[in-house]
Amino acid sequence: MGEYSMPDDGFQITAQAQAAWDRTVTDLPCGTRVTGEVIGRQPFGVFIRLDAHADAIGLAEITAMPRGGTLPPVGEQVSAEVVGHADHNHQVKVRLADWGC
């Protein structure tokens, strides 16, 4: 696998996230602490399958990464805080608790 990847079952994950979106937003308001597994890595951030909400997709964008930080690899367990919700693509915006600096 190269440095960057998309979630393996991207289309299925997207459909599941869309179907569960209203419940996800209600259950995961801003400020909620979450954990999950990195399932995809792109130059702009990492996609996370959230433990508490298997149908939700978290996205930690690189725009919130501290200088000198590194993105976690696919398969790594991470902790994060919900900072927003992207209605247009049904993603939970998160800020990682530890960027591995």
pLDDT 10s digits, 6-25: 665 555 677 888 888 999 99
Phi, then psi, of 26 in degrees rounded to 5: -65, -45
Whether CATH 3.40.50.150 fits 10-96: no
**Residue 1: band (very low, low, confident or very high) from pLDDT cuts 50, 70, 90:** very low
Among 48, 26, 38, which residue's Cα sits nearest to residue 93? 48
Strands, E assignment, 1-101: 33-42, 45-50, 57-61, 77-86, 91-96
Is 15 or 100 the better-scoring residue by pLDDT? 15
Alpha helices in the chain (DSSP H): 10-19, 21-27
Q: How many residues are recorded in the chain?
A: 101
**Residue 68: band (very low, low, confident or very high) from pLDDT cuts 50, 70, 90:** confident
CA distance 9 to 44: 19
Cα-based distances in Å from 54 to 2, 3, 24: 25, 25, 10
Query: Is the whole-model pTM more than 0.75?
Result: yes
Residue 58 has pLDDT above 80, yes or no: yes
Q: Where are the domains of the chain?
A: 10-96
Mean pLDDT, rounded, for 60-65 = 76
